[in-house]
Structure 1
Amino acid sequence: MSPKNVIFKKMAKDKSVGVYMAKRDFVDRVDSVDPVGKLSSYSLCQLKQPAFVQLSCTFRYGRDDMDVMGIAFRREIYMAIRQVYPPMQDREQSTHTKMQGKLLRKLGDNAFPFFFEFPDNLPCSVGLQPGPKDSGKQCVVEFEVKAFSAESQEAKVRKRSTVHLMIRKLQYAPENSGTAPSGKTTREFVMSDKPLHLEASLDKEIYYHGEPINVCVDVTNSSNKNVKNIIVSVDQVATVVLYSNDSYVRAVALEESGDAVAAGASLKKVYTLTPLLICNRERRGIAVDGKLKHEDTNLASSSIVKEGVLKEVLGILVSYRVMVKLIIGGSVGVELPLTLMHPKPDLGTNIFISRCGHECMCLLHFSEAFKASLHSPKVTNP
């Protein structure tokens, strides 16, 4: 069976409510975000009170068990709740995706479709990697779908009647690349008649994760000083804008070439660096893309912010730069900004994409009869 024919599922312990999702990654296109479409079904003989679904975005900057003077180390950035049962509208009048329509036919009268829409000012799923001896999540922006049964939205929720399922909000590289970055600087010295000139450039602006970055370095040393070493690095700058505006700068790829340029000499060379998470796995504070259970992740993608959106609510902003430094007692350097992201996938090959391009996420009641009847697509536990 094709690996694309997969539905993710999560069930409550009492089997009163479950979550079925054809997609757990939702794309932020800067000017719009994929809507979260759902289909709900409940066992009415077990469900004797209303049922709700909640979409939330949380910024966590400490473990759940950390509590100082009654203050939790987390902040709710966004929360939306929909009542699914009893239904708020006629099921036949709502708009269905192709997947929802198929599941509606299988589930019968107890299925109720509805949608969530992401606001365009929410952050993407990203976190700061903990150290090897740290436990739990230290600093992360995460999204969660929660389905539960309770007397009201504010009432205490029974854990046995609750489902939690993590989703991710991602950004892909824009199709149009800008001008290839370049920079130059000139340093004059007191005891030298002529200066030292450094010029550096990249071959393009946007790089994909795992792609080598070629840095062209051109040094013309007309001074009487000797360049002892050339250091080239790809730096990740992660700025926590929600509560402290602290910036963490980490070199995620580094080459200390050992190249020397004597007084009156010149050097032109291309250095190749490949920033990878596998080379930074044990380092605390490295920003990584949101992670789902049993899945690996990568270095965090560059953040693209919509114009006019307040950066203070975007959690963690990530950017990258190439630094070229000449060591001459002190240092002479050039900074080149770049964009590091995933390429946009070919959504036309995904069978769960509707004609309007929206992924479908489904909430379904679980039963053995339905499980036996659901031969295609394949069902897998997240």
Structure 2
Amino acid sequence: MSTRSVIFKKITTDKSVVFYMGKRDFVDNVNSVEPVDGVLLIDPGALDGRKAFVTLSCTFRYGRDDMDVMGIVRFTPRSRGKLLRKLGDNAYPFFFEFPDNLPCSVGLQPGPHDSGKQCAVEFEIKAFSAESQDAKIRKRSAVKLMLRKVQYAPETDEPAEPVTRSRDFVTADKPLHLEVTLEKDTFYHGEAINVNVSVTNNSNKNIKNIIVSVDQLRQNPWPSRILGMQSPPEQVSKRSTPLLPLLADNKERRGIALDGKLKHEDTTWHPQACE
């Protein structure tokens, strides 16, 4: 069964510029990032002597009013095949490459009573006509489209390396050893994280509970789970438990870092989209 391709089209109010793009999500594969490309169609009559431009910008917003914008502009000829032939002689390809070390699209979830725009890293493609790139842009001569830079780390068959910790007690001659293992290093949205816990209790202490949680590196742990697991003195105890962090269960938690959000779409991004 054939699949129908989606083309995103934006046209300025004055009809001077139209741009076409085949997708809005661009994948960071850790070692490389997909380029942003599309086709720009101009109407020489509507341009009326002006020039047409396309820019890709990355916006870092920290707080309500503080906003730093870094423009990324690079034009490299690249054919878009059928679309270029269909649009004719006034169609031009555009092509951008993300600079190294740019973050992916991300936003910090606001609290229930927060107002204004959220803290975020956002990407935007913009096409416009003007006398020059630095000239004042008329609203009816410009269009823009939000993009996402998303990360996809391919899975491997190798299990994750175990993590071990030891704890000495002042009143015990021998320590307690805790080992945690995962089935793999990479997990996707909506996928349960199976955590295997092994406790070797060589001490004379009775361990009553083991708490397991998923933490974001910046802060704000997702809700933890108490295993109800006990480790009597001088015994080895093992337990496996799944953890499933979901945004649906944390809609009102301020400060959680989420994937970048496009208008009217959920933040959850699935890697199958790039396959």
TM-score (norm 1): 0.65
- Cα offset for 1:145? 0.7
Aligned match of 1:319: none
Q: Give the superposition deviation at 1:291.
A: 1.2
Instruction: Tell me how many residue pairs correspond in the alignment.
Output: 274
Residue 36 (structure 2) aligns with = 36
Amino acid at match of 1:76: V
Contact kept? 1:33, 1:119, Cα under 8 Å: no
Q: Which amino acid is 1:14 matched to?
A: D
Partner of 2:67: 74
The answer to whether residue 72 in structure 2 is matched with residue 55 in structure 1 is no
| 1:96-145 deviation digits (Å, cap 9, x = unpaired) | 123xxx23333333222232222233221112111122234322111111
> Structure 1 residues 150 and 10 mapped into 2: Cα distance closer, same or farther (>3 Å)?
same
Whether the aligned pair in 1 keeps the contact of 2:74 and 2:95 (CA below 8 Å) is no
Q: CA deviation at 1:198?
A: 1.8
The whole-number CA distance in structure 2 between the counterparts of 1:229 and 1:175 is: 33
Tell me which of 79, 94, 97 is aligned to 1:96. Answer: 79
1:31 Cα offset (Å): 3.4
**Deviation string, structure 1 residues 304-359 (Cα, Å, up to 9, x no partner):** xxxxxxxxxxxxxxxxxxxxxxxxxxxxxxxxxxxxxx546564xxxxxxxxxxxx
Q: What's the CA shift for 1:57?
A: 1.2
Structure 1: segments with no counterpart, 5+ residues: 67-72, 83-88, 238-247, 300-341, 348-382
Shift of the 223–32 alpha-carbon distance from structure 1 to 2, 3 Å rule, reads closer
Map 1:33-182 to 2 at 5 A.
33-48=33-48, 49-63=50-64, 66=65, 73-80=66-73, 95-98=78-81, 102-176=82-156, 179-182=159-162
Q: How many angstroms apart in 1 are the aligned matches of 2:250 and 2:157? A: 27
**Displacement of 1:292 after TM fit?**
0.9
Matches within 5 A, 1:297-336: 297-298=267-268
Higher relative contact order (CA 8 A, sep 6+): 1
Cα offset, 1:147, TM superposition: 0.8
1:130-168 superposed Cα distances (whole Å, 9 cap, x missing partner): 112223432211111111111111111111111111111
Q: Which amino acid aligns with 1:127?
A: G
Percent identity reads 59
Residue pair 2:156, 2:184 contacting (<8 A) in 1 also: no
TM-score by length of 2: 0.88
Amino acid at match of 1:262: P
Q: 2:46 is matched by which residue type in structure 1?
A: Q
Displacement after TM superposition at 1:297 (Å) = 1.2
For 1:6, what is the secondary structure of its paired residue? coil
**Counterpart in 2 of 1:18?**
18
Equivalent AA in structure 2 for residue 50 of structure 1: K
